[in-house]
Amino acid sequence: MAKKKQALVDLKKMNLSFEEKGQIIKLINFKTQTLTLDTEIYENENFISQRSMVYAHLPKKLKAQLNKFF
């Protein structure tokens, strides 16, 4: 039987983040069917907003870390 993929993967425990334009972007959830990520954006350690982003827009280092798990 084929492996069933999870529809939503919780990334909070992995503590993955990257910096872009002076903001820290933390990865929260990964939606495997749509290849999108839920993120939280912080500036000067203050929460700004939650956004969704496409997997393709991640830095290469983060993509490599995520690919190890999927």
pLDDT in tens, 11-41: 999 999 999 999 999 999 999 899 999 999 9
- The distance of Cα 28 from the centroid of its chain, to the nearest Å, equals 6
Containing structural domain, residue 41: 8-69
Q: Using alpha carbons only, give the angle 38, 25, 43 rounded to the nearest 5 degrees.
A: 130
Residue 1 inside a domain? The answer is no
pTM (predicted TM-score): 0.84
Residue 2 inside a domain? The answer is no
How many domains does the structure of the chain reveal? 1
Alpha-carbon gap, residue 57 to 53, rounded angstroms: 7
The per-residue pLDDT for range 47-68, each reduced to its tens digit, is 999 999 999 999 999 999 888 8
Residue 65 inside a domain? The answer is yes
Residue 23 inside a domain? The answer is yes
pLDDT in the model for residue 69: 73
